[in-house]
Amino acid sequence: MSSRNSAALKVSEACYRAWTGGQIDEALTYLAENVVIEAPNGRFEGHDGFVTFAGDFARMLSGVTLRTALGDDTGAVLFCDLEFTFGAHSLTAQHDVVQDGKITSQTYVWDQLPFAQHAPRR
């Protein structure tokens, strides 16, 4: 059963607010040392992997809207709309697995069309 008050959801939302706000060091405090991130742009491991994944991404953000979030004892799902500095937005889903108060894995799915539409033409 999901809840808006679950401990896992609180950890997940705090990490989300930190990294989408450009506070990567703060976001790391919510992640296990061996966190694994799976995303359309690759697999990233550990804190260094998260910095690689989230750092560049966060710099492109101009706004975020968390549409809904659900969690239980072991994880959370966040659905959001990300706005980018290049004028596009992308609907994004994020699933976090939380153990002992730390995120151990994150899986992201997002609409890639806005990136393709704003990619440099050759």
Confidence label for 27 from pLDDT (cuts 50, 70 and 90): very high
* Element housing 3 (H / E): none
**What does the angle CA 104 – CA 108 – CA 114 come to, to the nearest 5 degrees?**
155
Query: Which tokens sit at 95?
Result: 């699933």
For 46-61, write each residue's pLDDT tens digit: 999 999 988 777 888 8
pLDDT of residue 3: 57
User: Helix 7-20 and helix 46-60: axis angle, to 10°?
Assistant: 60
